[in-house]
Each structure stands twice: as C-alpha cells, then as structure tokens.
Amino acid sequence: MSKLGRYSAQRRKVVDLGTTATTIATTSCGTEFLVSQNGTANIEHTLPTVAAAGAGWWCAFTLSTAVANGDADVTITAEGAIIQGVEAGDSSNAFASRTSIVIEGNSAQVGTRVELWTDGAAWYAISLATIDASITTA
C-alpha cells in the first residue's frame, strides 16, 4: 500500500504571476496564484469563462508584493459573468453582481487574498484583507 496519497493530499499548485497580466487557463484549476503590484500601473488577470471552467473550478490569488502607489492595482476579471462574495475585513462584508475584484494599490498589504470558485453559472469569492479599502469591486 502506498503512502503517497496521504503525503500529497493538501499539496497545492503555486504559480507566481509576478507583474504580468495573465489570462488564466481552465487547466489551472486548484492553483494558488501569487500576484504583485508593479508600482506604476494596473495589472489585470482574467478568469476563464464559467462555462469553460465548469462547476467546481477554483483558484486563489494572494498578494506577494505590495507597493504604495494608487495606480498599482491588481484586478481579477470575470468576463461575461458576475462575481458574488464576501470580504472579511470590509465593513459592508459583501459584494454582488460585479465583474471584477480589485486588490488596491496604496492600501492592500502582503497576504491580501481572494479565493474564487464557480458553480458553472457564476463566480463566488471569499476575500481577506486587513484594511477596509484593500479590496474593491468594479
């Protein structure tokens, strides 16, 4: 009997996107993406369509480099679909019917995180931030 299954049960795929805008592939299901603010401009990462991703597809984005510049946002976009979700650390604690989540330059700190998954019809998000204005929607 192999012990490999127990060892790798919670091992996650980790991909550092750095400061390059990326279209996330459907083959990236279950990936933990590290993202960085580049200091001068917005970086946009685009999710696959919900139809292409299919029910149960998920990924997460964690800010690994933060900068003090209001123009250095990291935007996660769901083209043609809405994002519903909650944000721990936000006084309103919820956002709905949006197509983008923005990790804000100037306020987001390293470790700010957004996890997304789909049921095949819409995206759902749970986000964590220490400052109320660190994550916004568009």
Q: Which domains does the chain have, with CATH numbers?
A: 11-137 (2.60.120)
Write out the H or E segment, with its range, that includes residue 100: strand 100-103
Cα separation, 107 vs 60, in Å, equals: 20
pTM for this model (two decimals): 0.88
- Tell me phi and psi for residue 28, to 5 degrees: -90, 15
Using a 10 angstrom Cβ sphere, with 0-12 exposed, 13-18 middle and 19 or more buried, the burial of residue 45 is buried
Question: Does residue 106 contact residue 82 with C-beta atoms inside 8 Å?
Answer: no
Q: Stretch 34-63: mean pLDDT, rounded?
A: 93
The residue behind tokens 């095949």 is 120
Buried (b) or exposed (e) across 81-113, using 16+ Cβ within 10 A? bebebebeebeeeebeebbbbbbbbbbbeeebb
- Which pLDDT belongs to residue 87? 73
* Least confident stretch, 9-13, 71-75, 76-80, 124-128: 9-13
